[in-house]
Amino acid sequence: MNSDNTVNYELWMTSTSNRALDFIEDWASFHESLLLEGDKVNFAPRYIFWGCSDCDMDYLDTECYGGGKYCSID
């Protein structure tokens, strides 16, 4: 809790994580109840990406953006 009585929380995940998606679905109703508190609760989803400059083109085309700069490893 911050000195101004707000709570900040983050969820770090990869975009391909089925476990994270399951968690988000389960968490949604609890998160909605927190939003009833108004500006006292701040949620920030965070996504993790990896770079892959030496991956083959098939992988880069299906798993990456920016020519391998942003990849989401399953």
Torsional class of 19: left (φ above 0), alpha (ψ -120 to 50), beta (otherwise): alpha
- pLDDT, one tens digit per residue, over 37-62 is 667 888 888 988 888 888 899 988 88
pLDDT at 24: 85
Q: Mean pLDDT throughout 30-42?
A: 77
Residue-level pLDDT at 38: 67
Mean pLDDT of 1-14: 80
The full set of domain ranges for the chain reads 7-71
What's the pLDDT at 70?
87
Q: What does each C-alpha distance from 51 to 13, 47, 73 come to in angstroms?
A: 16, 13, 10
Quick check: 72 and 49 in contact, CB under 8 A? Answer: yes
Q: What is the pLDDT of residue 43?
A: 84
